[in-house]
Amino acid sequence: MEHGLGFANFLAQIDEVGMVVLALLISLSVASWYLIITKSIANFVAKRRAEAFLDRFWSLDSLQAAQMDFKDHEPDNAFAELAKLGISAANDSKNYHSHKLAAAGGLSELVTRTLRNGIDQEATRIENGLTLIASAGSAAPYIGLFGTVWGIYHALIQIGLSGQGTLDKVAGPVGEALIMTALGLAVAIPAVLAYNAFVRRNRIWLARLEAFAHDLFTLVTVSEPISATNQTAHSAEHADSSLTSYDGANTQAISTNERS
């Protein structure tokens, strides 16, 4: 009964439909594992680069220093790209006229749109490949089940034609057909686990990016008006002092004329 059974015998007796199912499962497995490995490495590298950039960014003295830093260090992560976009938008806002669509709403609206677009682009980028991983995790068990049903169907036909319906003649071919289901589960389980892990990582990554964008928006839009307000107050104080000196001079001149 053990003679001629096993995976090798299963591959030898499989038909064209079974070969297509097996090739599809192998392709899904290779593609999903390739994406799992490459995205894991890319996420690890992006995290290290982001931490290094954030440490360097928050140690700078001003946004002007950050802009100079971008000339020495090209953005290599999402946080650096977002910071460069926000600072560039703030610097370019003075080049737009108020009637231009790019400057509609003022500086705050321009920076908000720029940062939002940067976050949306990063969200799109980090979702690359997740569709294939999710498809492998959800479809592989059904593909394997289809291969099992097809294999059992042909095994029963062969048993019926041979006229030997004993248990030892049925158990071997049916057991070999179940290999397809096992292969489908072997493809699906790592894909489902990896998909859940990547979705959680992306959610945390985007939340950190949103928080950084809020801080950056505050630095770009609030610090500049504060400086402008201080400058305006200083100018007003200087104007008041000049006006006081001018009034004093006039009063002195009038008193001299009266004495004359």
Band of pLDDT at residue 260, cut at 50, 70 and 90: very low
CA 54 to chain centre: 17
Does the pLDDT of residue 139 top 70, yes or no? yes
Domain for residue 65, yes or no? yes
Domain housing 183 = 7-227
Residue at 115 is within a domain: yes
| Residue 258 is assigned to a structural domain of this protein | no
Give the model's pLDDT for residue 117: 92
CA dihedral 219, 224, 225, 229 (to 10 degrees): 130
Residue 237 lies in a domain: no
Tens of pLDDT, residues 200-249? 999 999 999 999 999 998 888 776 443 333 433 444 444 444 434 445 54
Question: How confident is the model at residue 38, as a pLDDT?
Answer: 96
Instruction: Judge whether 256 lies within some domain.
Output: no
- Residue 141 within any structural domain of the chain: yes
Asked whether residue 105 is assigned to any structural domain, the reply reads yes
Model confidence over 169-188: pLDDT tens digits? Answer: 666 667 777 888 899 999 99
The structural domain count of the chain equals 1
pLDDT given at position 27? 94
Residue 248 in domain: no
pLDDT per residue as tens digits for the range 97-113: 544 555 555 677 888 88
